[in-house]
Amino acid sequence: MTLIIWIIIGLAAGWLKRRVFPGRPGGLVPTLVLAVIGALIGGYIATYFTTGDLGTLHPTGFAVALAGALLMLLVAAKLRI
């Protein structure tokens, strides 16, 4: 269940990025994929450094997955991917 929530957070972050910055290079699908990868990495890092389950809309898990997705999108934008 946790994995599904992180994927949904990544998809939402990617979709929001495309809505806020529509003129940026890259299509919708690469943006969504990068955001999901970032959310998964952020979520896994959060569970590695904390104890307990961060899924099921736990505020810390949500925040770290969102931060990971946004960080991945920022890095991709800076690298012009």
Q: How far apart are CA 25 and CA 65, in angstroms?
A: 24
pLDDT digit string, tens, across residues 20-42 = 877 666 788 888 888 899 888 88
Average pLDDT, the chain: 79
Q: What pTM was estimated for this model as a whole?
A: 0.79
Distance CA 51, CA 5 (A): 18
pLDDT of residue 18: 81
Whole-angstrom Cα distance, residue 21 to residue 27?
Answer: 11
Q: Read off the tokens for 57.
A: 């809309």
